[in-house]
Chains A and B, each alone.
Chain A
Amino acid sequence: MPLAMTRAQSRLPHLCGAWALPALALALSVAPLGGVRAETVLVSNEKGNSITVLDGESLKVLRTVPVGQRPRGIVLSQDKKTLYICASDDDEIETLDLDKFTLGPPLPSGPDPETFALHPDGLHLYVANEGSSLVSIIDIAARRIAGEIPVGVEPEGMGISPDGKWIVNTSETTSMAHFIDNDTRKVVANVLVDSRPRRAEWTADGQQVWVSSEIGGSVSVIDPASHKIVHKIAFAVSGVPQEAIQAVGVALTKDRKLAFVALGPANRVAVVDAQTYEVKKYLLVGQRVWNLAFNSDESRLYTTNGISNDISVIDVPNLRVVKSVTVGNQPWGVVVRP
């Protein structure tokens, strides 16, 4: 099976904190490859009010952690030890210790947090407050809201440039990608995209922002320097009505060769040549595919499938779907802890 080939490259466990020694001992005693810990896949279950934890190698569910109401966006802390969780209906960000799987004191979030992004400085979270047309900036260490930026109706996607200078927020009902200057915290440009934009994904080189539109069923590739759409990618799957093609999750390989776009109720992930924008393939996954995440060496891509309550595992080198694993009720977000 092509999936197992990269396991040997997994990183050593983190060795800081009081728990490090017992954890290491545990890792040594159970890990098959002597001290090498497999990756962990973390999935938020919007209706299950839980986080499903899977082993990145065996793809077995290790545990299901009950969390707050309507968990959607999830993101790892910079040291990868904590999972931040948007508990949308509890109006707070929960912090999950990924070694003990216990919830720490929550962070403020502003009302109805849906998604967020961690600034490259590792110190700030930028939260889309869906109910109040705001982006809130959270100072993680101080546990306070350090700033608010008014944006369009139903802010959704948050993308931060790799150099940390630009924040892109999409607003679903306004149908714009708002470019925010991180220094002045002001909106400097608004790019109108197709209806109901969701994700804003920067390329690793910081040269482009890819914005998906759910109702429009397209992806707009935006040049962040000119704030112009340089290309719009459309999708068509034979046998699937055009109205069911709704672009949501976007994942780009670091070398910007391939992009993957989750097409919602079309139950497909589109594989796009990120240089020519040509759609190469549609991969059949679970129902209402929503968000996507690579593992650390980009050999695998995980998808959350909201209606079939599972995740699909895509073998990236071979562009094949190799497995699906049942998780909790209405999986929404996914991240991989190295």
Chain B
Amino acid sequence: MGHPIGRRARRALLALSALAALMALALGSPRAEEQSPAAVKIGFLREGVKREAPQPYLDPPPADEGVAGARLGIADDNTTGRFTGQHFVLAEAIAPAGGDVAAAFRKLVGEGVRLVVTDLPEAPLLAVAALPEARAVTLFNAAAPDDDLRAEKCRANLLHTVPSRAMLADALLEYLLAKQWPKVFLVVGPTEGDRAYAAAVKRAVAKFGAKLVAEKPWTFQPGAKRSDSGHYSIAAEVANFTQGVSYDVLVVADEDDQFGDYMSYATYAPRPVAGTAGLVPTAWARPHEEWGATQLQDRFRQAAKRWMTARDYAAWLAVRAVGEAAARAQSVEPEKLIAFMRGEQFQLGGYKGTPLSFRPWDGQMRQAILLADTRALVSVSPPPGRFLHQFSELDTLGMDRPESKCRLQ
């Protein structure tokens, strides 16, 4: 005790033994012998595509979007793992832009990874899911909102933590109906994603008995918007575009944010804007602070030095789902975790009030959807008690069991 090195070493030893003791505390058996923690390796697969935001000056696209959520999920899993003797590791694999995603995936599988979170668009995701190496792997889709991934193109080795477009559109329509704003004027952008978003909105309009009073494609190129006095021309264009229609809400389908932000306050009649701009249905939003969300917002901001996006949240959910299943099933074997995760008992806290779980018919994570603009949380769908369901009100969002076209294989 007396000499100087001893003290330091003793402290280190103390810390070490404390850590070891914590790790040894297997659940339900507080006197369990010391053991090295069992590891769960979670892959994270993405393309190294440089994404461009239409307004980089306001919101520069984060280079670590998505993966930052997964990294925080790992940290959260490991805090719990200290008490369950489980350890979680993230194996990140980036395929070069336009490069070989399959090779990056095979490399992960070669490292023994059986659970892979993907931050990929639909096409490369489906290509990876169809690989023979993917048969023993479960993929967590944390980025692709495509409805057909949960329908005709669904796969048994795919779970989705990102909400589908149908869920987002249903969440918006539930709100519009609750507000008694049923007349929708739909503006559709030029991309395939925009058309898919519009299709989801139209489906939701029919599902909830709202009314599509107009649908128009947006073709104007607002290239000069951000040049001096450029706002005159776009404001005039938006006013012309929206004139002569009697509607309640202008719903914008513009997934790349090319023009949606310019619609608000420029329409001919004073009408709110919703959809991909204005009031946005989304899995996560900056103003969300209810149900303990402040804690997740704070944790994320501390770790990533920026705000959490919906894409980060979907990746966080996937990694947390693995951690939660490992703690509950008291196992680190991927098959057991997946079986538990797909089961009835699985409940994940997602800071949205109600527990999240996976739909057995298409692997989609059921979750409440926020309706928010950049500064305020306006509502959360489903609004309680408004749209009833036999089993779970959350299943009023997206494809319910009876209507699902997914035949898992």
Contacts and interface: CB of A to CB of B under 8 A. Distances in A.
Contacts of B320: 173
Interface stretch (A22-30, A98-106, A149-157): A149-157
Given A131-B299, A190-B27, A192-B27, A174 B80 contact: yes
B349 A215 contact: yes
A310 interface: no
A172 interface: yes
A228 B29 CA distance: 10
A173 B393 contact: no
A176 B26 CA distance: 12
Contacts of A173: 76, 79-80, 295, 320, 349
A178 B327 CA distance: 14
A195 B25 contact: no
A187 B82 CA distance: 11
Contacts of B27: 190-192
A190 B353 contact: no
Contacts of A130: 295
A141 B30 CA distance: 34
B18 A186 contact: yes
A243 B30 contact: no
A112 B349 contact: no
A153 B30 contact: no
Interface residues of B, number: 33
A172 B84 CA distance: 15
Contacts of B324: 175
A188 B21 CA distance: 9
Interface residues of A, number: 35
Nearest to A133: B79
Contacts of A175: 80, 324, 327, 349
A153 B353 CA distance: 17
Contacts of A194: 347
B349 A152 contact: no
A188 B393 CA distance: 40
B333 interface: no
A98 to B, nearest CB: 29
Interface string A157-199: 0000000000000011111101100000011111110111000
B25 A190 contact: yes
A213 B25 CA distance: 22
Interface string B308-334: 000000000000100010011000000
Contacts of B30: 179, 188-190, 227
Nearest to A217: B355
B377 to A, nearest CB: 14
Contacts of A190: 25, 27, 30, 83-84
Given A131-B295, A152-B80, A243-B354, A265 B384 contact: yes
Interface in B365-397: 384-385, 392-394
B28 interface: yes
B298 A154 contact: no
A241 interface: yes
B80 A241 contact: no
Interface in B1-46: 18, 21-22, 25, 27-28, 30
A244 interface: yes
A153 B354 contact: no
B355 A215 contact: yes
A35 interface: no
Interface in B151-177: none
Given A175-B327, A215-B354, A216-B355, A189 B80 contact: no
Contacts of B348: 195
Given A195-B348, A215-B347, A243 B392 contact: yes
B343 interface: no
Contact of B22 (A172, A176, A187, A243): A187
Interface of B: 18, 21-22, 25, 27-28, 30, 76, 79-80, 82-84, 292, 295, 298-299, 302, 320, 324, 327-328, 347-349, 353-355, 384-385, 392-394
Given A174-B80, A176-B80, A244-B384, 12 more contacts: A173-B79, A173-B80, A174-B327, A186-B18, A188-B25, A189-B30, A190-B30, A191-B27, A215-B354, A243-B354, A243-B392, A246-B353
22 contacts: A131-B298, A153-B80, A171-B79, A173-B349, A174-B80, A174-B327, A175-B324, A175-B349, A176-B80, A178-B83, A188-B25, A190-B25, A190-B84, A192-B28, A192-B328, A195-B355, A215-B347, A215-B354, A215-B355, A227-B30, A241-B393, A243-B353
Query: Across chains A and B, which 7 residue pairs bring their CB atoms closest together, nearest first?
Result: A189-B30, A174-B80, A243-B354, A190-B83, A153-B79, A196-B349, A215-B355
